[in-house]
């Protein structure tokens, strides 16, 4: 018997705007708001996304009305995650940057606020991650079928009342939900996370407190190292 996975998630309206941080003939660097899908879902109610807005020219400011019909998303950010993304504008750029992601030469940094206090100021979380098919869209830690997953972290601020810590993450792999499930498994879920949470961590923030702050890669046209940044809003 073949079981089908049903995704009944319907994204609430997102009024946050996409900011274009950089533009040339090959790429866009954009700042994604929290609460916006990266790609449109199969459900007709989930058509609003980064990709659809770029295709339809639903941007603001100097690029208001300008459509990017050739835009290709090379990577994604989770629905609740905000921050920097690179978008390719042609097939050659897509291929060259995709190869960098596959070779793990793209450098990424995130800021998150976690419940409680990590015992060490820096370290590595390396629990293997696998799909939790019966509980889609959840992922799970599995030492038998899970894929190698590494998240370097550094505590940059310790907060009190309630106890929290601001952390910089530098993931060395790019598994689905990696930073969220690693934080949860380490005993310190990211505030506002609806999937990997303690009794109160989700209610401690109005949104997922995870933001992609930096993205480094080689430009597909010039070969120059690109250092993209997006200030953390929390």
Catalytically active residues are: 78
Among candidate residues 171, 173, 184, 110, the one with its CA nearest the CA of residue 141: 184
In the structure encoding, which two tokens stand for residue 41, read together? Answer: 């879902």
Q: How far is the CA of 218 from the CAs of 98, 146, 215, 224, 231, in angstroms?
A: 11, 30, 10, 5, 21
* Residue 180 · residue 195 · CB < 8 Å: yes
Dist. CA 72–CA 156, nearest whole Å: 34
Q: How far is the CA of 137 from the CAs of 81, 148, 173, 189, in angstroms?
A: 16, 19, 19, 17
Task: Give me the phi and psi of 94, to 5 degrees please.
Answer: -60, -50
* Residues written for the chain: 234
Could you please report the per-residue DSSP string of 116-134? S--SSSEEEE---EEE-GG
């Amino acid at each position: 018997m073949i079981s089908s996975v049903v995704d009944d998630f319907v994204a609430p309206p997102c009024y946050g705007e996409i900011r274009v941080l950089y533009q040339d003939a090959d790429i866009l660097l954009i700042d994604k708001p929290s609460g916006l899908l990266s790609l449109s879902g199969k459900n007709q109610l989930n058509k609003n996304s980064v990709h659809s807005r770029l295709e339809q020219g639903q941007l603001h400011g100097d690029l208001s009305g300008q459509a990017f019909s050739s835009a290709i998303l090379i990577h994604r950010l989770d629905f609740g995650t905000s921050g920097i993304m690179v978008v390719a504008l042609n097939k050659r750029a897509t291929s060259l940057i995709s190869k960098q992601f596959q070779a793990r030469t793209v450098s990424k940094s995130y800021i998150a606020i976690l419940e409680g206090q990590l015992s060490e100021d820096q370290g590595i979380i390396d629990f293997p991650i696998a799909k939790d098919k019966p509980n889609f869209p959840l992922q799970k830690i599995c030492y038998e079928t899970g894929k190698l997953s590494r998240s370097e972290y550094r505590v940059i601020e310790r907060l009190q009342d309630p106890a929290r810590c601001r952390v910089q993450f530098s993931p060395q792999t790019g598994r689905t939900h990696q930073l969220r499930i690693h934080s949860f498994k380490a005993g310190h879920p990211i505030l506002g996370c609806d999937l990997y949470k303690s009794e109160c961590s989700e209610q401690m923030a109005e949104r997922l407190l995870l933001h992609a702050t930096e993205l480094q890669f080689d430009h597909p046209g010039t070969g120059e190292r690109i250092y993209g940044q997006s200030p953390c809003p929390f």
